[in-house]
Structure 1
């Protein structure tokens, strides 16, 4: 079954994005509890590239398909899961990458929509918070996608986020969909 990519984010209204994000139909991986079957020989690199047995997976439709059966386990590991098997997968940083952002509104009325490297759309809100993790090379911004799965926000989008920083009760942060996300030190 071919998976169609979405239209350009710039061509979608925020209402369109919200509708598409709400319509996403994902397999109920949280309900599947098969026996562990071993290792998938797969890895997700920090840039969002997927590898199988050391070779990059070049078909975007395959990556999108695998991303729908990805689950984070309670121990922090990642698995690909179906109703009959569960295989480990290595994730170097985050399983997704937020590659594009669309903004609507200002201040508390802001709405931030993100397109992931898998063409999934996510609105930053209370269920999909933005967080900043301090690292030696500067803060790394992440967006919660679903059920413990995050997207690393690419540097160019991070710079766009930094321009939206405002203060709430003396705390610097970013608003989206009525939720405030503290940024800490983004300099």
Structure 2
């Protein structure tokens, strides 16, 4: 894990964001299969806040570290995994939150990059899709981050996506990023 703070998202070009995301090496959690050891006493709230034993974890470097060993199991559970232990973690919605967006280009040449609450950078595209769900409290947009883990797109960022979608005149309304089109309506 880097010891320096992440760069200022607003000052980065999308090419720089893509390079930084590529350089961000993660542990090979998909290859670690220790025995289940119990519960971590941790929870990720719907707003992306991480808690341990009921108290928020206030240190972003600690949250970032834990996020690198997070994995989604085939049965849908979330676990923190190391080579020697696997602990359940409760996730109220999605384990990450996309808190900021940056765009370059127009129409089908557009690229959209997102900064997550953990400092991770993700560029939407074929490998990092956007999907939308209708819920009782309104539409809920998600960004695929990695290995079945998603980020809930913050409401303010969703409004930016909706503005782009309505302005581009596509039917159905949607956005482009890295050559992929993402309709703002839920998949059937």
Task: Output the TM-score relative to the length of structure 2.
Answer: 0.95
Q: Which sits farther off after the overlay, 2-11 or 41-50? A: 2-11
The alpha-carbon deviation at position 115 of structure 1 amounts to: 0.2
Equivalent positions of 1:25-36 (< 5 A) are 25-36=25-36
The alpha-carbon deviation at position 167 of structure 1 amounts to: 4.9
Question: Which residue of the partner structure matches residue 94 of structure 2?
Answer: 94
Provide the aligned length of Structure 1 versus Structure 2. 184
The alpha-carbon deviation at position 4 of structure 1 amounts to: 2.2
The alpha-carbon deviation at position 3 of structure 1 amounts to: 2.9
State the Cα deviation string for residues 145-164 of structure 1 (Å, max 9, x = none): 00110000101111100011
Moved beyond 6 Å, runs of 4+: none
Question: Which residue of the partner structure matches residue 182 of structure 1?
Answer: 183
What secondary structure does 2:135 align onto?
coil
Task: Output the TM-score relative to the length of structure 1.
Answer: 0.95
Distance 2:78 2:4 in 1: 26
Aligned CA distance change for structure 1 residues 176 and 2 (closer, same or farther; 3 Å) = closer
Unpaired runs of 5+ in structure 2? none
Distance 2:64 2:129 in 1: 22
User: Alpha carbon RMSD of aligned pairs, Å?
Assistant: 1.2
What secondary structure does 1:30 align onto?
helix
Question: Which residue of the partner structure matches residue 132 of structure 1?
Answer: 132
What secondary structure does 2:173 align onto?
strand
